Structure 1
Amino acid sequence: MKTPHDHKITRCPKLGDEMTFAYCLQEAGDLPCARIIFCWQAAFDVASLLEENLTQEEQKRFADAQPKEKVVSLIEILEKAKRQT
């Protein structure tokens, strides 16, 4: 999904660094990061943007998703990087 906000940057509490909105939209594979609304709500109406762009099934899976702890996320990222090299 492409949006006018893709280039915007915020600090990611999950990864501990700055990330673009485009990254947050695909952080969970085919779904946005579970924390996307919390992280971006001050910048623009991210909830409406997601509602307009996600299918009903994607909206349900997104709503049911639970944010992972930072350590778990980092381990998964490292394992994924190892598999790709």
Structure 2
Amino acid sequence: MTIDIHDDKKKYCRILGHELTFTYCRQTAAAQPCGKIFDCWFETFDIDRFMKKHFTPDQLKTLLTPQKPKMASLIELIQQAQKTTNENKPDE
């Protein structure tokens, strides 16, 4: 089984809101598989077997590690920006 065997298959992407081929899911803009790849493709083909064959255990571990909620990431970014702003303020 080659890595591109399912590349022409299409699904509606719940994250981006339109139809995509498996190629995109397998290698997103971040050059990593989408974190939802298992959820979206398990009914179409044996995604577990495919992923185990074509990706290392470390890649799969990273992929399966839950990401922070977007709100938590936004709060962290705001706090970092505030800290940087406060550090760069001239003393009065």
TM-score (norm 1): 0.70
Structure 1 unaligned segments of length 5 or more: list them.
70-85
Deviation at 1:27, TM superposition (A): 1.4
Residue matched to 2:23: 22
1:34/1:67 contact within 8 Å kept: no
Is the CA contact (8 Å cut-off) linking 2:3 and 2:54 kept in structure 1? Answer: no
Opposite residue 11 of structure 1, the aligned amino acid is Y
Alpha-carbon offset, residue 2 of structure 1 = 3.1
CA distance in 2, matches of 1:22, 1:30: 11
Higher RCO by CA contacts (8 Å cutoff, separation 6 or greater): 1
> Does the C-alpha gap of structure 1 residues 28 and 56 become closer, same or farther in structure 2, counting only changes over 3 Å?
farther
> Runs ≥4 in structure 1, deviation > 2 angstroms?
65-69
How much is the aligned-residue C-alpha RMSD, in angstroms?
2.1
Q: Percent identity?
A: 33
Q: Aligned in 2, Cα 1:17/1:2: closer, same or farther, shift over 3 Å?
A: same
Aligned to 1:58: 59
- Deviation per CA, 1:22-77, whole angstroms, max 9, x where unpaired? 000111523210001111111001111001111121111111143876xxxxxxxx
How has the CA–CA distance of structure 1 residues 67 and 38 changed in structure 2, closer, same or farther, with 3 Å as cutoff?
farther
TM-score, structure 2 normalization: 0.66
The answer to which of 58-67 and 36-45 deviates more is 58-67
Query: Any unmatched runs of 5+ in structure 2?
Result: 71-92
Larger Rg: 2
